[in-house]
Structure 1
Amino acid sequence: MEIELWLIASLACLAIFTSFIDAVAGGGGLIMMPTLLFAGLPPQLALGTNKVQSMFGTSNAFRNYAKAGLVDWRKEKWLALLAFVGAAAGAILVQQMSARILNLIVPLLLMGVALYVLLSPRMDDRQAKELISRKGYAPFAGGIGFYDGFFGPGTGSFFAATLVGLRGEGLTRATGHAKLFNMMTNMAAVIVFAVGGKIIWTLALAMAVGSFIGSTLGAKFAVKHGAKIIRPLLVTISLLLTAKLIYDWFAPA
C-alpha cells in the first residue's frame, strides 16, 4: 500500500503528540489507531504499523525507568517472556480475522479502553499488600500480552493497574515494570506483523521518530504538570473518533 508523503509527515507529527500524551497520561494509541483507520489503512496494517512506533516509545521509556533504578528486570524476566509469547499469539490471531469484522471490533475495543482510562481509579506510590505472588501474576502477564498483540491501546495502563492492585507495587515502580512488559509485547507483535507483511515500513519508521521525540518531551512535562488535564481530553477525542468509525460501519455504502 502506497502512502503519500504529506500523510507520512502528518502522521509522524501526530506520533509526537500521541507519544507525548502516552508518556504523561497513557493511552496515546486511543488517538493514533482511529486516525490510522481514517487514513485508509486496513485494520491489520494499522495495527502492525502502529506497533513499530509503540515499540520505540516504550523502549525509550523503559530505558529511562531502568536508568533510574526502577526496574528489576532480572526478577521480572520470566513474566516479560510470558508477555512476549502472549503478544505473539494475539498478533497471529488478529491476522487471521477478516477486515470487515475488525472494522467493527477495533472501534468497540477503543471505546471500552477509553472508558476504562476515564473511569479507572487513580493510583499512587504507596506500597500495598501483595495479593498474589510473582508466579501468580503469570496469567495476567500472558493475558495482557495477548491483548496487546491482538489490539494494544491501554496495555501499559492494564499492566500498571494490575501490578499496583495485585502485587502491591507503588505506581512509579509498577509503571517501570509495565514499560518492560509493554516493550516485550510490542517487540513480539512487530516480529509477527513483519513476518505477515502487515507493516508499512516507511510510515512506521517516520512515526517511530515522532514517538521517540514525543515520549522524551512527555516524560519531562509529566514531572511538572501531571495528567489531570490531558486524560479527559484524550478520552473525549478518542470517543468522538470511535463514534465516527462505528457510524461509518453501519452507514449504508
Structure 2
Amino acid sequence: MFETSLDLALILIGTAFVAGFVDSIAGGGGLITLPVLLLAGATPLQALSTNKVQGCFGAATAALSYAASGHVNLRGQIKAAFLSGGAGLLGALLVSRIPTEGLRFALPVILIAIAGFFALRKGLDDTDRAERITPTAFTAFVVPLIGFYDGLVGPGTGAFFMIGFVSLAGYGVLKATAHTKMLNFASNVGGLIGFAAVGAPWWITGLAMGVAQVAGARLGARLAMRVGARLIKPLLVVSSSALALKLIWQML
C-alpha cells in the first residue's frame, strides 16, 4: 500500500504530526520531515515532492484554524496567495535549471540572522507597529519572492514570511504567524504541481502524512493562539537555528 515499508511509513506519519505542530507555530516543518523522507529511501526529488503533499495539509489546517479564531481574513489574502502559488510553481519548474549553490551557502547565515532578530529584538510581541511598506507593495514584491524561493529551495519559507510581516508590514508576532499560513499553503500547492510534473511524489505516503499534519497543525495553532509571542518567538528561534545548523552540517 505505502511506497515504503509499514514501519517506515508509521515513522513518517509520526514525524509529520510533530512537523505539523511546529510548522503551525513557527514554520520549519520541512526541517523535520525532509531528512526522515530521505532516510526512508526517497530520492531528493521524491522527498521534496512528498514533503509538498503533506505540507499542504498542515498549512491549510493552520490557516483555517487562525481564520476561524479571527486572526486572519483569508479572503483578503486571495490575491497574495495566487502570487505565492504561481511563484512557487515557477520555482519548482526551474529547480533543475537555476544554480542554487550560492543561495545554499548564504541561507544558514540568513537563518541565523532571523533567529537573532527574534531572540534579541526588544519589545517584539503581539502588538502591531507602523508598516514600512504598503500592503500592495508587500504583496507585489515580497510575497512572490518568498513563494519562488519555496518552490526552488524550500527550507525556512515560513520564517521568511514571518520576518517580512513583522519587519515590513508591522504585524505583531501572532498576527504575522496567522497571515503566513495561507501564503505558505499556496506556495506549497504551486511547488507540488511543479514537482509532480517532473518527478512523482509518494502520493499514498504523502497523503497519510498529511492526515497527521492536520492533527499536529490543529494542536499547534490552538496553543499558539493561547500563548502568543511567548511561545512563537522561542520556537521560531530554535527552528531557524536548527535549520541553519543542519544546512551547515550538510555542506561540511
TM-score range, shorter chain: 0.7 to 0.9
Query: What percentage of residue pairs aligned between the two structures are identical?
Result: 35
- Where does residue 211 of structure 2 map in the other structure? 209
CA offsets, 1:142-176, max 9 Å, x none?
A: 00000111122221221121112112222222222
Task: Please give the TM-score of this superposition, normalised by the length of structure 2.
Answer: 0.82
**How far apart are the structure 2 equivalents of 1:186 and 1:148?**
7
8 Å contact from structure 1 (residues 34, 241) kept in 2: no
Corresponding letter in the other structure for 2:117: S
Give the paired residue count: 243
How far 1:49 sits from its partner (Å)?
A: 0.6
Q: Kindly tell me: are residues 160 and 71 of structure 1, through their superposed partners in 2, closer, same or farther at Cα, counting changes over 3 Å?
A: same
- Aligned residue among 115, 120, 140 for 1:118: 115
Q: Show the 5 A alignment for 1:131-170.
A: 131-137=132-138, 138-170=140-172
Aligned residues: CA RMSD: 2.8
Instruction: Name the CA shift for 1:109/1:38 in 2 (closer, same or farther; >3 Å).
Output: farther
Whether the aligned pair in 1 keeps the contact of 2:108 and 2:247 (CA below 8 Å) is yes
* Preserved contact between residue 19 and residue 211 of structure 1 (Cα < 8 Å): yes
User: In structure 1, how many angstroms separate the alpha carbons of the residues matched to 2:164 and 2:52?
Assistant: 22
Q: Tell me, what secondary structure is at the counterpart of 2:126? A: coil
1:118 is paired with a residue whose SS is helix
Report the more deviating stretch, 205-214 or 105-114: 105-114
| 1:36 is aligned to 2:37 | yes
SS in 1 for 2:168: helix
User: Relative to structure 1, is the Cα distance of residues 80 and 204 closer, same or farther in structure 2, using a 3 angstrom cutoff?
Assistant: same
Shift of the 105–13 alpha-carbon distance from structure 1 to 2, 3 Å rule, reads farther
1:54-85 per-residue CA deviation (whole Å, 9 max, x = no partner) reads: 11000000001111122223333222211111
Whole-Å Cα distance in 1 between the matches of residues 183 and 234 of structure 2? 27
- Which secondary structure does the structure 2 equivalent of 1:94 belong to? coil
Contact 1:62 1:179 survives alignment (8 Å) = yes
| CA–CA separation in structure 2 for the residues paired with 1:107 and 1:203 | 28
Distance in 1 of aligned mates of 2:237 and 2:104: 19
Partner SS state of residue 13, structure 2: helix
The answer for the alignment partner of 2:130 in structure 1 is 129
Of 182-191 and 32-41, the range deviating more from structure 2: 32-41
In 2, the alpha carbon distance for the partners of 1:109 and 1:214 equals 31
Post-superposition CA distance 1:80-103 (Å, at most 9, x none): 211111111011111457xxx88x
Q: Within 5 A, what are the aligned runs for 1:1-253?
A: 2-96=3-97, 108=105, 111-112=108-109, 114-122=111-119, 123-137=124-138, 138-222=140-224, 223-224=226-227, 226-227=231-232, 230=235, 234=239, 238=243, 241-242=246-247, 244-247=249-252
In structure 1, stretches of 5+ residues that fail to align are 248-253
For residues 13 and 106 of structure 2, the distance between their equivalents in structure 1, rounded to whole angstroms, comes to: 24
Q: Is the 8 A contact 1:149 1:189 kept in 2?
A: yes
Change (3 A) 1:229 1:156: closer
State the Cα distance separating 1:238 from its structure 2 match. 4.4
Whole-Å separation in 1 of the counterparts to 2:190 and 2:46: 16
Q: Is the 8 A contact 2:56 2:189 kept in 1?
A: yes
Cα distance in 1 between the residues matched to 2:182 and 2:17: 21
For 1:145, give the aligned amino acid.
G
How far 1:109 sits from its partner (Å)? 7.2
Q: Is the 8 A contact 1:56 1:208 kept in 2?
A: yes
Q: Distance in 1 between matches of 2:130 and 2:147?
A: 24
**Helix, strand or coil: the match of 2:154?**
coil
Unaligned runs of 5+ in 2: none
Change (3 A) 1:63 1:117: same
